[in-house]
Chain A
Amino acid sequence: MPTFTQIGSAVTVGAGGAASIDFTSIPSTYTDLVVKISTRSTIAGTSQDDINVTFNGSGSSYTWRNLLGSGSSAISQNGATAYIRMSAVTPNAGTTASTFSSAEIYIPNYAGSANKSVSIDMASEANQTATYMGLVAGLWSNTSAITQITLTGASGNFAQYSTAYLYGVSNA
């Protein structure tokens, strides 16, 4: 088996936007999962929207901590919420045109029977203030294999031309 394989089809958001991006029926045949996204929000304004990450349609048992840099300061936040939060990652509709964020979500041993640890790298550079880069350490305290990943804009929808790709990493 190749080590790094795209699973399913790429997601490209069409005209009208999308409230969420879903990867479903994820097979258990890989070791780790990697999600790579490029997103923009439909919500008005010049700040950045959050993205909420959930697994298997579950709205419980998530905790997260992040480290964010704005170009003038660094902050760290934490939460025990119904999702793992990717804070301030998606440029809103009023930011510099044609600007999309980049992020990678790494989920090791996603099909195993331990709680699921998640690592997220994210960056949004829009040539303006109030743009961020950040790291997230997340945990889904659930021993089920991950078969679904859902990304949802916290305040707005994903704008046209936002993309998402799911890859499987195999150590076999």
Chain B
Amino acid sequence: MPSTYDKIATQTLGSNQATVTFSSISSAYTDLVLVSLFKNTGGAGNLKIQFNGDTATNYSFTNLYGNGTSASSGRSSTQTAIIFGQADSTQLLLNTLNIFNYANATTFKTTLSRSSDNGNTYSSAGAIVGLWRKTPEAITSLAIFSDSNIASGSTFTLYGIKAA
């Protein structure tokens, strides 16, 4: 039976680093899933992503968070990256990011992430939808970074989901 859900690559950081990159991503899949278990070095902050080295203001996102006391929602347009989760230095935080229909050159790319942050004062359950609005092209690389360095011991795994 053909494999539907494949691991493409995994990175476990042996030292702090500014950016985690997945490059030369095959176009053979339908969707991508990035599973991150991470913390940063600088305390409360954000986890961000850019595609294909694009650092222009081609990104936007809308978020929904519950912090254990109240629910909140916000959005940002014309940004230089998608903020797809929160980051902290005290606890490994879980995030799953779906990138739909990533390999076409006809549509803008949509992401949907789930963040699960608990065990510290910045904790929340959240969902974030993002959009990359550069002239459509297939996604071939991801750059993941935070407000500070990503800490040693963090793990990022990229999976491909194949519809056919």
Q: What is the interface of chain A, defined by CB distance below 8 A to chain B?
A: 2-4, 31-32, 63-69, 74-78, 106, 108-109, 114-115, 117-121, 134-139, 141, 169-172
Contact = CB atoms under 8 A, between A and B. Distances in A.
Contacts of B24: none
A87 to B, nearest CB: 11
Q: Which bucket holds chain B's interface residue count?
A: 35 or more
A121 B125 CA distance: 10
Interface in B33-62: 35, 37
Contacts of A3: 3, 5-7, 159
Given A114-B92, A117-B92, A117-B94, A76 B119 contact: no
A106 B114 CA distance: 11
Interface string B81-100: 00000000001111010000
Contacts of B123: 65, 78, 137
B7 A172 contact: yes
Contacts of A63: 118-119
Contacts of A109: 37, 92, 155
B125 A66 contact: yes
Nearest to A65: B68
Contacts of A119: 94, 96, 114, 116, 125
Contacts of A170: 7
B71 interface: yes
17 contacts: A3-B6, A3-B7, A4-B4, A65-B118, A65-B123, A67-B127, A74-B66, A76-B68, A78-B67, A115-B91, A117-B94, A117-B119, A119-B116, A121-B114, A135-B125, A138-B118, A139-B119
